A = this chain, B = another copy of it.
Amino acid sequence: MKFYDCATAPSPRRVRIFLAEKGIAVPMVQVNLREGEHLQPAFRKINPEATVPVLELDDGTILSDAIAICTYFEDIHPEPPLIGRTPQERAVTHAWNRRIERDGLSAAMEAFRNATPGLKGRAVPGPDDYDQIPALAERGRTRVGRFFTWMDAHLAAHEFVAGPRYTMADITTQITVEFAKWAKLPVPETCPHLARWFAAVSARPSAKA
């Protein structure tokens, strides 16, 4: 088994935190996104999508999606549960995780990728080039703001994002808050519950992953 990682990128970090919480060690290979290593033929032979993270299994199977990789490790290494022990727990975690991806993480990505000078012509991850759309960066900023407000209200009454335990949905929210900072959208002072929760997840040993 081999994990293709990029230490500075948000998506592989989701998996690294997940693995750290489980106490699983996997051999890591660094892919230098800043130098465009993911767009070179050698890496595109491994993953034609030209994205990280990638998990290569021992039989050569390629998993090129952070959440697919997390579900695999949850299945083969169930403790501690980060998705859930029962069908209902698992479904609730997936529902939260996907909502946060739609309303938070995607919005932060749109805000960042469509406005950052270094990503001109690279507004969408993957092998194809797309121009930045300034109006989409602006819409992303608005959506991140609404996501923060909504998540703050939720966390006012809950210790964790998706139920009584820390789950994969907390990791996705953590990455969203970190990614939003890259887009110069820090958690505002009007969101103290989100800030309290973020300080707590950032103090976990897994945050160093």
Please name all residues of chain B whose beta carbon is closer than 8 Å to the beta carbon of A128 when the two chains form the complex: 143, 146
A residues 150-172 in Cβ contact with B at 8 Å: none
Q: List residues of chain A with CB under 8 Å of any chain B CB.
A: 49, 57, 61, 63-65, 67-69, 71-72, 75-76, 87-88, 90-92, 94-95, 98-99, 103, 124, 126, 128, 130-131, 133, 135-136, 139, 142-143, 146
- Count of identical protomers in the assembly: 2
Q: What is the chain B residue whose CB lies nearest that of A142?
A: B130
Please report the C-alpha to C-alpha distance between residue A95 and residue B72 in the assembled complex, in whole angstroms.
Answer: 10
Q: Is there contact, CB below 8 Å, between A68 and B98?
A: yes
Please name all residues of chain B whose beta carbon is closer than 8 Å to the beta carbon of A88 when the two chains form the complex: 57, 61, 72
5 contacts between A and B (CB under 8 A): A65-B99, A67-B98, A71-B90, A72-B87, A75-B90
Picked from B49, B61, B75, B87, the residue with its CB within 8 Å of the CB of A99 is B49
Please name all residues of chain B whose beta carbon is closer than 8 Å to the beta carbon of A133 when the two chains form the complex: 133, 135-136, 139
Q: What is the chain B residue whose CB lies nearest that of A48?
A: B150
Q: Is there contact, CB below 8 Å, between A95 and B68?
A: yes
Please report the C-alpha to C-alpha distance between residue A68 and residue B168 in the assembled complex, in whole angstroms.
Answer: 14
